[in-house]
Amino acid sequence: MSDLRNFAQWDRNIIKVEQINGDSPGLNTVFDITVRGLGGKPSVLRYTTLEFDEYSNVLVRGVNRIFTSVDRVTVSATATGCDVTYDAVLTANWIVSPLNLFLGPIFNKVGVSATKGLRKVLA
């Protein structure tokens, strides 16, 4: 879960992931993630790893001119295996910031789809 290059396996809205800095997951690594943007047009966000615990936690922040996304993935042990939690907050930047009023429902649809993909890959 800490290697963002794997995100494209379970999130159908990710077109491509390229690691820009570093040769493996870790603190301060940088990834360019190309996503299907509004209207299907590709958009690239540059993600930087801000927190990294290889087996339990990763916090990344992705930014482009229009959006900022802060994503946290946590993995915690359970009696039968583990729980994976993926939290992401997407906000519009600058002049498009009024879009923040409408982003919640749109981003929730994306999240539901990604959750289904993640469950399928982890099963």
How are beta strands 30-36 and 14-21 bridged, if at all? Answer: antiparallel
| pTM for the whole structure | 0.83
Task: Place 60 in a pLDDT band, splitting at 50, 70 and 90.
Answer: very high
- Name the residue among 28, 20, 27, 24 with its Cα closest to residue 45: 20
Task: Place 17 in a pLDDT band, splitting at 50, 70 and 90.
Answer: very high
CATH code for the domain defined by 4-122:
3.30.530.20
Task: Place 113 in a pLDDT band, splitting at 50, 70 and 90.
Answer: confident
Task: Place 34 in a pLDDT band, splitting at 50, 70 and 90.
Answer: very high
Q: Work out the number of other CB atoms within 10 angstroms of the CB of residue 56.
A: 14
Q: Give the pLDDT confidence of 80-89 residue by residue, as tens digits.
A: 988 888 888 8
Lowest-confidence range among 54-58, 75-79, 88-92, 118-122? 118-122
- What's the CA gap between 55 and 23, in Å, rounded? 18
All structural domains of the chain with their residue ranges: 4-122
Residue 57's pLDDT is: 93
Q: What SS3 state is found at 80?
A: coil
What are the tokens at 39? 């209207």
| Structural contact between residues 64 and 38, judged by C-beta atoms closer than 8 angstroms | no
